[in-house]
Structure 1
């Protein structure tokens, strides 16, 4: 079993290399006082919508009691939240990223995130494969869970998509045959 500090460093290294390779258009890590992280993976994060409401994303994994290693107020790592899997959680100026770092072929191909919406909000599937958070009364989009992207250590695209069942968003990452680590990026923005 990896030491927690080594695991955090490996996850950060993998996520950083991929984000740098993707370029300047990626949302940057930034402290955001409107984002409130819980201590454990199960506690997840509260994020704002454009209309001032808050929604909750929980990380639904077997090791849900894993405590985050807080590296900065805007950056934390959940090491070993699943077999051969870590999550690098970033705060951005408009939301969050849950960079899922898959270290080997024994890692699962599905990752579940519970989503709790305020009254009057709903998730609506978009043609892009993401989900808009829609204010039901006004029909306005007040947040967006972007279609996930994923790539392996050779920067080759890896197929990733979402399914929705009730309040659970499942990210599926087809990482078999990839060069590890594979990084997948669920991104929410208001």
Structure 2
């Protein structure tokens, strides 16, 4: 148990330093009763869309059965979800952030997030590199998976992008020449 607490503290510290350096425009952690977290990383999170439906983001990693270290209702840490990797999961006013903390060069460069959409919704690629959740019947955007950003411990930008394969969004982070820890931010909002 002590190792998990130390891991959660290290992940939180890394994520906090990077977020503070990024400034005030970052989505803030707040309570959102429309967001429902699972107990394990694999269980992921159910998030709302603008039209009242819900979509699901899972976390598909080597240790996807990792239970959450719940720090408060709006913040949990999945320690050791993969080699040298933790996820700091935040609830925001409009959705969630899955801050992926990469602690060393042995960490994977790709992180898979299976997405389950409600009937009539699709993911549509955007020029920004993110994905809009679009209601097919009305053509309206009802949610958005923002283009990921990544930063190393020297606050240098690290290349990060998404690839979509069926219903799985893969975040790719090119962290080989970075100063660790690296924090990458998949962020969804309705």
After TM superposition, the score normalised by the length of structure 1 is 0.99
Question: How much has 1:62 moved relative to structure 2?
Answer: 1.3
Counting only pairs closer than 5 Å after superposition, residues 33-182 of structure 1 correspond to structure 2 as 33-182=33-182
- C-alpha distance in structure 1 between counterparts of 2:3 and 2:177, whole Å: 26
**Aligned residue-pair number:** 189
Moved over 4 A (4+): none
The yes-or-no answer on 1:17 pairing with 2:27 is no
Question: How much has 1:149 moved relative to structure 2?
Answer: 0.1
**Aligned with 1:42: secondary structure?**
coil
Question: Cα deviation per residue 1:154-178 (whole Å; 9 max; x = unaligned)?
Answer: 0000000000000000000000010
**Aligned with 1:29: secondary structure?**
coil
CA RMSD, Structure 1 to Structure 2 (Å): 0.7
The yes-or-no answer on 1:31 pairing with 2:31 is yes
**Aligned with 1:59: secondary structure?**
coil
- C-alpha distance in structure 2 between counterparts of 1:17 and 1:98, whole Å: 16
Gaps of 5+ in 2: none
Question: How much has 1:3 moved relative to structure 2?
Answer: 1.0
- C-alpha distance in structure 1 between counterparts of 2:115 and 2:87, whole Å: 17
After TM superposition, the score normalised by the length of structure 2 is 0.99
**Aligned with 2:16: secondary structure?**
helix
* Partner residue in 2 for 1:184: 184
Gaps of 5+ in 1: none
- C-alpha distance in structure 2 between counterparts of 1:119 and 1:17, whole Å: 39
- C-alpha distance in structure 2 between counterparts of 1:6 and 1:39, whole Å: 19
**Aligned with 2:150: secondary structure?**
strand
**Aligned with 2:58: secondary structure?**
strand
**Aligned with 2:93: secondary structure?**
coil
- C-alpha distance in structure 1 between counterparts of 2:162 and 2:177, whole Å: 20
